[in-house]
Structure 1
Amino acid sequence: MKNKSNKIWVILAVVAVVVVGGLILAKKNGWIGKEEATEVELSKAKRTDIIERVSASGKVQPEIEVKLSPDVSGEIVGLYVSEGDSVVAGQLLLKIRPDNYESLLARAEAQVNSAKASLEQSKAIQSQSEARLLKAKTDFDRNKKLHDDKVISDSDYEQFSSQYSVAKQDLESAKANVQAAAFNVRSSEAALKEARTNLTKTTIYAPQSGTISKLNVELGERVVGTSQMAGTELLRIANLNKMEVRVNVNENDITRVSLNDTVIIDVDSYSASGRKFKGIVYEVASSANGLATSSAAASVSNDAVTEFEVKIRVLRSSYADLIKGKRSYPLKPGMTASVEIVTDRKNGVLSVPLAAVTTRDPKAANQEKKSEEESNNSEEPKVIKKEKLKEVVFVLTKDNHAKLKEVTTGISDFDNIEILSGLTEGEQIISGPYVTVSKKLKDGELVKKKEANKDNKEKK
């Protein structure tokens, strides 16, 4: 019985030695305990052409478009144009019923005549007052001499003196009445001028040549006109030979947009045919859209998007072949368009895929190790000082590890980004997957190339 139990123990000991030896050998050869490699996509730093663009969307509009509103109110009794008609400067467009304004003109003319008659009457009274003053002065001078010679009494002298004073006051009053009557004439003439002007405003002419791009009224419709503010919008006259696209550009991109930048325009109406139009930036807003200065508006949330309006002139030469017969204006106001503003262009520059560049704190790993050691040695660990994030790429080493390299970047397009320093041409870099490069991958981590058809095989 004893011999049997001893054999069992010997067998167990031999098995244990074999297992331990096998584990040691497997670990030594890397069969077990081996670090798992992260699958990544690889690219090379190479030279290519980069065109930096700013994308935006907006509406096609005429460069010059005039909105017409009436200065007087009334009923439209004559409408001589239709939407889409071509007009020339000075052409009669429409007419508002003039009856009321003709009556006001006649009343103003009567008031002018009445004011002029009053002026003449005041002048006649002034002449009479001058004559009475002259007689009163003569009587006063004669009786003053008689009073001095003691011929007449004091009461008689005072009577002539009083009449002389009254005559002078009457003359001053008559002169003031003449002046007031003259002012009344001026006021009446101004009212007459206004009435005459209002009558002329019932007939509306084209202020410029162009096309009726929008007609908002019909014959017989009543419109509201005010001289202080815009009344009813009657119609719009646009020069459809000069079209533009107005887009809003985010504040992060507006600093890269300059006057005369080349623009590629994609109008939705022509997207199906793949037609593109060319343009140039001719105006960039100096202030943001809807910029307000009041304290209430200043308290708007910082999350609000700040945008600037950019005007892009569509080059007529880019759609000259579309102008045929009745189709004189292939671009219509209000069409939706997407634009790509070419802000910079460089040929043959060192570049990598855009997804390969990310941001890291190069000192973060060392700081984490130090903080762990300090936390083991002391109860209160020191606060880690965060460094400014820097642009980096991960380079593939010969032993298949990811090496962190700091780089300086330049312009970029939707695919590639320029490398100004930090890499040399031909270096193999890790370009994906995006989440791996941007968040997960660490310096020194073991990596392996992702199989190109792995995803396709899984789908099958």
Structure 2
Amino acid sequence: MTVEAVPVTPPRFRKVRWLLGGCIFLLLVGALLWWQYGRRAEVKYITVPVAQGSIKNAINATGTIEPVKSVNLGFKNSGIIKAIYVKPGDAVKAGQVLAVQDTAELEAQLAQAQASYNSAAANLQKLEAGATAAEIAQAEANVETARIAYNDAAAAAERNKALFEAGALSKAELDSAVSARDSSAAKLRQAEAALEDLKNGSRPEEIAAARAQVEAAKAQVELARNNLESAQLRAPWDGIISAVNGEVGYRVGSSTDNSNSSFITMITPTLQLRAKVNEADINKVKVGQEVSFTVNAIPGKEMRGKVAWIAPEAQTVSNVQLYDVVISLDPEPSLKAGMTASVDFILDRKDNVLTIPEAALTFARTYLAGSEGNGGRSGAAVGGDRSTSGGRTIPGGVPGTTTNDNGSAGRSEAGAAGGHTAGTTVLVLENGRPVPRQIVTGASDESNVEVVSGLAAGEAVVVGTSTSARTSSSTQTRSFMGPGPVQVRQPARTTTGR
């Protein structure tokens, strides 16, 4: 029976194999550790400097710049435009002629009215003066002539009557003679009455009727003269021409015609602001209240005004009740009618106070709360160094620093109302590290908070972070930015204990 020999590994080779495996294991562990810790994020802190500013508590609304007065001008009567003397943008004075119509027809109407007036006035003068001596003498002669004719007719009638009774004349011939006598008698009475009227003068009612005719004719003259004068379109007050809707040679209708109601539009140079305020806020708006506003055409410039009057009745816009509030404005040459404005009705205001963004308080509250929730590891990963106070880890802090009991930088309602709030925490960037700082805050608005104490002008408060991996070009930003200038600072790299 043959026994085959089994090869035996030398002890030295076995040790080398174990050593090689250990090295490989260590390399793998090192690579894993490098992958985990070597890619640790680099943190950039976004800061805003503490600055002098204004805090205002206000009601927001939108509005439109408009002229205090606006009028549409048109000619009183229809006619052809003869000349236009103004263009949009021209400044005009009260009474200045803006345009004229052709006046030939209106001049003829005035001449006709004047002639009618002259005739009525002459007739009145005649009635008031009474009859002349010549007119009376003529009337007396007319009476005498009528009496002679009557006497002749009466004598002929008597003769014919005698002949008729003698049978020498027919009944028809007698009737004709009687008719002629009666007609002559009537003419005599008429002539005598005319003579009496001339001697007595005109009756009061005749003179009154003549006077009425004179007044009516005079009114027609005035009307024709006014029509002629209205052919010149004049400015009613000092103002600016806003629009001219017409050309020389065009026929325009009368002022009662809607097509001519806006031939020339004129506005005042003085402007006002008309804002629309929601019914929920209207009781907070008072006459005389201070208003600040901005317009898109002049970015960054805040202008002032005061509430002039408030509409007593709301207008419904998209099922929302809005009240018109008109604001008188300080003179501002750059403002123009039609500009859209963003309006703030000031309820409370503080000027020239230290301010920081609301974002600084929000970020500090979230940052500190997150550090506590992670047992301090968040501070090492995001903030760099860490220190402890009373068993609590505060990222980037210093020994002895404390925060509010809940680790937040929140403010009470007293701060928003204008009172002072103590115990508020913000993060101040010192030597590249965020350090908690206790401050006292005051009034606030929607974006900024007043700093009563705890900070100095120019100090940088943290409002956010921007992180990036060393082995990657990607960047992640964690920020609570509000309005205001931004400074990005790169903190010094630190080494944390393991």
Q: TM-score, normalised by structure 2?
A: 0.45
Give the TM-score normalised by structure 1: 0.48
